[in-house]
Structure 1
Amino acid sequence: MSKFVRLILALTALSSWTSASGQELANSGPPTEAEAPIALMIDLSSGQTLFARDYDRRFIPASITKVMTSYQAFEMLADGRLSANQNFGVPDDIFEKWNGKGSTMFLQRGESVSVDNLLRGITTVSANDGSMVLATGASGSAENWVATMNQTARDLGMADSHFGTANGWPDEGRTYVTARDLTKLARALVRRHPELFKRYFGKEGFAYNGIAQANHDPVVGRVDGADGIKTGFTNQAGYGFLGTGVRDGRRVVMVVAGSSSESIRDRTSRRFLEWGLSGFESRRIIRKGDLLTQADVRDGDVRRVSLIAPRDLYLTVPKGEDPDVQLTVRFRGPIQAPFDADDAVARLEIVVDGLPDSSVPLVADRAVDRANLIERLFNGVAGLFS
Structure 2
Amino acid sequence: MLSALRSSTLAIGLTLLTLPAYAFDTTARAAYVMDQKTGTVLLSKEADQPLPPASMSKLMTLYVAFEALRDGRLTLNETLPVSEHAMSYGGSTMFLNTQDRPTVEDLLRGIIVLSGNDACVVIAEALSPDGTEAGFARYMTQRGKQIGMDNSNFANSNGWPAAGHMMSVHDLAVLANRLISDFPEYYPLFAEEEFEFDGRAPSNKRNRNPLLNLGIGADGLKTGHTQEAGYGLVGSAKQGDRRVIFVLTGLDSTGTRAEEAEAVVNWSFRNFVERTVANADEPIAEAKVWMGAQKTVGLVPQEDLTLLFPVLNDKDIDAEVVYDGPVNAPIRKGQQVAELVIKPEGLPEIRRPLVAAQDVPLGGFVVRMMTVGGIVMKDFINNPLESM
1:161 is aligned, of 152, 165, 190, to 152
Give the TM-score normalised by the residue count of structure 1. 0.76
Q: Kindly tell me: are residues 305 and 229 of structure 1, through their superposed partners in 2, closer, same or farther at Cα, counting changes over 3 Å?
A: farther
Show CA shifts across 1:40-91 (max 9, x none): 2111111111122222222100100001111122222223332222221112
Deviation at 1:157, TM superposition (A): 1.8
Instruction: Give 1:125's aligned residue.
Output: 114
2:196 is aligned, of 184, 207, 224, to 207
Gap runs ≥5 in structure 2: 1-22, 358-367, 375-388
Deviation at 1:252, TM superposition (A): 1.0
Give the TM-score normalised by the residue count of structure 2. 0.75
Q: Kindly tell me: are residues 110 and 180 of structure 1, through their superposed partners in 2, closer, same or farther at Cα, counting changes over 3 Å?
A: same
Distance 1:271 1:231 in 2: 16
Distance 1:343 1:106 in 2: 56
- Equivalences, count: 343
Distance 2:351 2:206 in 1: 38
Deviation at 1:196, TM superposition (A): 1.6
Q: Specify the code of the residue in structure 2 equivalent to 1:187.
A: N
Deviation at 1:383, TM superposition (A): 7.5
Instruction: Give 1:270's aligned residue.
Output: 262
2:31 is aligned, of 26, 39, 55, to 39
Distance 1:157 1:72 in 2: 14
Q: Taking every aligned residue pair, what percent have the same amino acid on both sides?
A: 32
Distance 2:245 2:217 in 1: 12
Q: Kindly tell me: are residues 72 and 306 of structure 1, through their superposed partners in 2, closer, same or farther at Cα, counting changes over 3 Å?
A: farther
Equivalent residues in 2 for 1:195-274 (5 A)? Answer: 195-197=185-187, 199-211=188-200, 212=202, 213-274=205-266
Instruction: Give 1:14's aligned residue.
Output: none
Distance 2:315 2:302 in 1: 25
Q: Kindly tell me: are residues 280 and 129 of structure 1, through their superposed partners in 2, closer, same or farther at Cα, counting changes over 3 Å?
A: same
Distance 2:371 2:78 in 1: 60
2:349 is aligned, of 347, 350, 358, to 358
1:187 counterpart = 2:177: yes
Gap runs ≥5 in structure 1: 1-28, 367-379
Distance 2:335 2:192 in 1: 36
Distance 1:275 1:44 in 2: 15
Equivalent residues in 2 for 1:307-322 (5 A)? Answer: 308-319=300-311, 321=313
Residue 185 of structure 2: SS of its match in structure 1?
Answer: helix
Deviation at 1:384, TM superposition (A): 4.0
2:123 is aligned, of 131, 134, 144, to 134
Which of the two has greater helix per residue?
1
Q: Specify the code of the residue in structure 1 equivalent to 2:136.
A: W
Distance 2:71 2:237 in 1: 27
Q: Kindly tell me: are residues 143 and 249 of structure 1, through their superposed partners in 2, closer, same or farther at Cα, counting changes over 3 Å?
A: same
Aligned CA-pair RMSD:
3.8
Deviation at 1:238, TM superposition (A): 1.1
Q: Specify the code of the residue in structure 2 equivalent to 1:61.
A: P
In our comparison, the structure showing a higher alpha carbon Rg is 2
1:30 counterpart = 2:24: yes
Show CA shifts across 1:208-245 (max 9, x none): 11245111112111251111111111211211111111
Show CA shifts across 1:102-138 (max 9, x none): 1112223232112111111111111101100011112
Q: Kindly tell me: are residues 263 and 325 of structure 1, through their superposed partners in 2, closer, same or farther at Cα, counting changes over 3 Å?
A: same
Show CA shifts across 1:330-358 (max 9, x none): 3556889xxx99998754333345x5133
Q: Kindly tell me: are residues 309 and 124 of structure 1, through their superposed partners in 2, closer, same or farther at Cα, counting changes over 3 Å?
A: farther
Deviation at 1:381, TM superposition (A): 8.5
Instruction: Give 2:83's aligned residue.
Output: 91
Q: Kindly tell me: are residues 224 and 82 of structure 1, through their superposed partners in 2, closer, same or farther at Cα, counting changes over 3 Å?
A: same
Residue 76 of structure 1: SS of its match in structure 2?
Answer: helix
